[in-house]
Amino acid sequence: MKDAELAQALGNRIRDVPDFPKPGILFKDITPVLLDAPLYGRVVEALATAVRDAGTDVVMGIESRGYLFAAPVAARLGLPLALVRKPGKLPWRTRAATYDLEYGTDRIEVHEDAVQPGQRVAVIDDLLATGGTMEAACRLVRDLGGAPVLAAFVVELSFLPGRQRLGNAVDAVESLVVF
Ligand code: AMP
């Protein structure tokens, strides 16, 4: 399947849910993509190609929908899988990064042994909105001595400045469908 065909198939499957989780947000629901097994497989294949081409040593997934894509990509390529989690969920020694939300701040954590110094890391999430979450994840990668080489998403919202925000945070940004 060509990239444009994959983007179109994703555009047809991803469901818009207005005012979720709060008024004014148009939520991009990827669960219909997961129910479409051939399409889910193509998504994993396309992300795996981008991750492999970036010369990746470690695949990092962002909780929670990022795991749905990072885990099969890591298994497909035979690469280690590192987890970024919400605060207080990881059992061992962690590093944390905070980032600004519209109101207030949020925080993500990673285990200290998730990335070894010098490793090239591809970080995967389901959706790029403001880029705050991914920027913080890339900071964690650098904090552990790794190099963030790719930020990969299924969906990119181009009416928000996520891609610009990631400009200095990571070598490359890839998404499969842009709204
Ligand atoms: P951001 O940090 O603003 O780029 O937000 C990205 C994170 O929030 C991702 O983990 C997404 O799953 C989630 N997210 C933000 N906006 C939306 C949206 N409109 N629809 C679905 N998920 C979203």
Return the CATH number at 103: 3.40.50.2020
Q: Look at residues 120, 108, 133 and name the one whose alpha carbon lies nearest to residue 59.
A: 120
Residue to probe by mutation, ligand 1, list 64, 133, 139, 154, most atoms within 8 Å of CB: 133
The minimum-distance atom of ligand 1 relative to the CA of 162 is: 4
In this structure, the residue with its CA closest to atom 18 of ligand 1 is 27
Number of domains in the chain: 1
- For residues 47-64, give the mean pLDDT: 98
In this structure, the residue with its CA closest to atom 15 of ligand 1 is 129
In this structure, the residue with its CA closest to atom 12 of ligand 1 is 127
Residue 177 phi/psi, 5-degree rounding, is -145, 140
Q: In terms of residue numbers, what domain contains 151?
A: 4-178
pLDDT digits (tens, 9 = 90+) for 85-134: 999 999 999 999 999 987 889 999 999 999 999 999 999 999 999 999 99
Q: What is the pLDDT of residue 179?
A: 97
Q: Given the DSSP bridges, would you call strands 173-178 and 147-156 parallel, antiparallel or unpaired?
A: parallel
Q: What is the pLDDT of residue 103?
A: 82
